[in-house]
Structure 1
Amino acid sequence: MNKIITLVFTAVLISTAAIAQVRVGDIVLPYKVNFDGEDLTLNGAGIRSVLGFKTYSGGLYTKQKYSDPKIVLESDESMSIRLNIISKKVTNTRMIKVFRKGFDDAMFGNTESIQDRIEDFLKLFASPTQINDFYEMAYIKGKGVKTYKNGEEIGFIKGRDFKYALFKIWLGNEPACELIKGGMLGLSK
């Protein structure tokens, strides 16, 4: 009888663990995350490819499901974007360059109002980046964006306006990658 109970218990644990994660390409993303006591669920995810090379996966975590990027961008609710590095071509220098261009594109070249915060944010990516590193940029409702590298907090940038510009890099009208945008919004598989 004990063996049967142990087998059932093990099966329940394995099925629970399988549900708690989602595979995106070769990367496994958690289905749920928690920042500052708020549970967020994976809204959707995708993989960025450049010239046929997969560079990173990106996932959007929200309190409820969204398919409209405008609602996500304008919302003042806690949410997070997670980037998992899957290529050695993604270096911290390249990330800083891509973020800088992304902010410029997202703000149509008018970054003056948040420029100091952009520079502070870019400093968070000064350490070397390796395959399997992951970054989480969690907007905390009414406060700002906490950034984590491999689960460890590396910085905080205040303001909902900063969150808007940051999230617009992937969810704006001219996103860094249409596939990631569609994936994050649950519109593409």
Structure 2
Amino acid sequence: MLIPALPAAWRRHVAALTLSLSALPLAAADAITVADVRFAPTQQLQGQQLQLNGAGLRRKAAFKVYAAGLYLEQHAGSAAQMLAQPGPKRLRVVMLRDVNAEELGRSFLRGMQDSLDRSTFSKLAPSLLRMGEIFAQGKALKTGDGFTIDWLPGTGMVVTINDQILSEPFTEPGFFEAMMGIWLGPHPADAGLKQALLGGSS
């Protein structure tokens, strides 16, 4: 039995619908699994439901270091779009190998230094030192350990390791932006991970 050809108007409608669907960001109902780490499609933070913006893998040489997922209220395809959102934000990181915590903290400091000019880096020095102290408290982050970096409007930036808040919030203006620059700045630690966090494929 022959199927009659669709009218031209219907063909145009179907083509437009297909194109619009392909251009949509990651659906809120979709979880992402990265190296056996599952990132749920949504998370609750400060009474708001955040959607998984993207998730990917941090590699160093031939090693898989950690998986990371970014949660926002609305999809963001750039760091500027992410920072422009007024609501809470979360970066979730899960370790894929044992890493010395102090060494990881130092790598974060180097990453911020790479993404900041000297003047801004100097202004943020007190918060940078405190961030280093947080990671120096633990001898190592084991495979499967995780930490989150949360931005909470009205409170500041909060760092949690294995569900334990390790310090008072970082309230210094610009520090959360500087911290996120490690992953989403112009000179990210891993360009493939940056692309994945912003909804692309690594």
**TM-score, length of structure 1 as denominator length:** 0.83
Query: Which residue in the other structure is 1:27 paired with?
Result: 37
1:98 aligns with 2:110: no
SS for the counterpart of 2:75 is: coil
Q: 1:136 to 1:185 in 2, by over 3 A?
A: same
Q: 1:74 to 1:64 in 2, by over 3 A?
A: closer
Letter in 1 for 2:124: I
SS for the counterpart of 1:76 is: coil
Cα offset for 1:68? Answer: 1.8
Q: 1:71 to 1:159 in 2, by over 3 A?
A: farther
Q: 1:19-63 CA deviation, whole Å, 9 max, x = no partner?
A: 674311221122222222222111001101111111001111100
**Aligned pair partner of 1:125 in 118, 122, 135:** 135
CA–CA separation in structure 1 for the residues paired with 2:123 and 2:85: 20
1:168 aligns with 2:186: no
Q: 1:181 to 1:66 in 2, by over 3 A?
A: same
Query: Which residue in the other structure is 2:163 paired with?
Result: 151
Letter in 2 for 1:91: N
**TM-score, length of structure 2 as denominator length:** 0.78
Q: 1:106 to 1:179 in 2, by over 3 A?
A: same
Cα offset for 1:74? Answer: 4.2
Query: Which residue in the other structure is 1:73 paired with?
Result: 83
CA–CA separation in structure 2 for the residues paired with 1:59 and 1:145: 17
Query: Which residue in the other structure is 2:55 paired with?
Result: 45
Query: Which residue in the other structure is 1:10 paired with?
Result: none
Structure 1 unaligned blocks of 5 or more: 1-18
Q: Which structure has the greater CA radius of gyration?
A: 2
Letter in 2 for 1:116: P
Cα offset for 1:114? Answer: 1.1
SS for the counterpart of 1:173 is: coil
Aligned length: 170
Structure 2 unaligned blocks of 5 or more: 1-28
CA–CA separation in structure 1 for the residues paired with 2:31 and 2:164: 20
> Identity percentage over the alignment?
24
8 Å Cα contact 1:41-1:61 kept in structure 2: yes
SS for the counterpart of 1:164 is: helix
CA–CA separation in structure 1 for the residues paired with 2:187 and 2:32: 27
Pairwise CA RMSD: 1.7
CA–CA separation in structure 2 for the residues paired with 1:159 and 1:121: 12
